[in-house]
Homo-oligomer: A and B are copies of this chain.
Amino acid sequence: MKEFAFIKSLKNLSSADGLHGIGDDAVLTDGLLIAKDIVAEGVHFTKYAPLQNIIFRLFTANVSDIAAMGGQAEKALLGVALPSTLNKEKLTEAVRYACSYYDIKLIGGDTTSSISHFFASLTIIGSPSENILTRNGAKEGDEVYLSRPVGGAAAMLARELAGERVYEHYLYKAETELGEYLGGFGVNSCIDISDGLGRDASHIAEASGVRIELDSRLIPEYGISDAVSSGEEFALLFTVPKSRAKEMEELIHRDLKRPVYRIGKVKKGAGVFMDGEDISEKGWEHG
């Protein structure tokens, strides 16, 4: 639920309860978080990619949208348009695996045939934590955090696009545990990395009306350029008031036995900069 230039054009149809509508990772309505992602063969995956991996990434993208809002994904509806050559048993197995991995109950869906390519749509329903995390809550003085190293997806995608049958980047996991934890803790803003660190940080900067300054020396990475532009990472990027940052790091370390990475600061102004260079447009164009 990221690329909605078209959907956004339907402006006066798009305010959800006047609260969190189009523009965040998921929408909050009737006390539920709902996200929807679609994927198409030839755009999001090649016909050689294993069904298991394609379906897993579709689930991950949706589950990650809920995690980035601080919630927990619980239920799903799946729609598929199936070319006659598609192996339905493998598809069933792939859906079963993804549901099982993320502990999601499949509650409905629709199946049809396709005279050309494979197309799938997933609607995810999640329950919010105490706090709804959005993109527009970053405040001047916040510390900026990244949940884990990024860049690997871009590196593997490059190999896939060069013809190698590399599909491990489809299996990156959504940050379900951390997302829910941050929702309980209540950070100021949060987004998942699906368009690239540069561009996703700029979504926060724009929505919050702030400037984000990142320090390349702090970024856990597989290579700086990859780290900035690699999409579909599903790491979380979030900002926390300086006064609560140390407490948050310690709690996450204690309760989740993992680190998170402080990578920069929120300042007055606009845009996203790394070591002074504007990186707000650096990202991955998908679909």
CB-CB under 8 A from A115, the residues of chain B are 40-43, 117
B92 and A10 within 8 A (CB): yes
Please give me the residue from chain B that is nearest to A21 by CB atom: B107
Is the interface on chain A under 10, 10 to 19, 20 to 34, or 35 or more residues?
Answer: 35 or more
Pairwise interchain contact B125-A29, C-beta atoms closer than 8 A: yes
Indicate whether A105 reaches chain B with its CB closer than 8 angstroms. yes
- Given A43-B115, A112-B43, does the pair A34, B95 have CB atoms closer than 8 Å? no
Chain A, residues 62-106, CB within 8 Å of chain B (1/0): the string is 000000000000010111111000001001100110010000011
Which A241-287 residues sit within 8 Å CB-CB of chain B? Answer: 286-287
Query: Is there contact, CB below 8 Å, between B3 and A81?
Result: no
Contact between A111 and B30, CB atoms less than 8 A apart: no
A residues whose Cβ falls under 8 Å from a Cβ of B: 1-7, 9-10, 13-16, 21-22, 26-27, 29-32, 34-44, 75, 77-82, 88, 91-92, 95-96, 99, 105-117, 119, 121, 123, 125, 286-287
10 shortest interchain CB distances as A-B pairs:
A112-B287, A121-B121, A38-B79, A42-B115, A116-B116, A16-B107, A13-B106, A27-B108, A36-B77, A7-B109
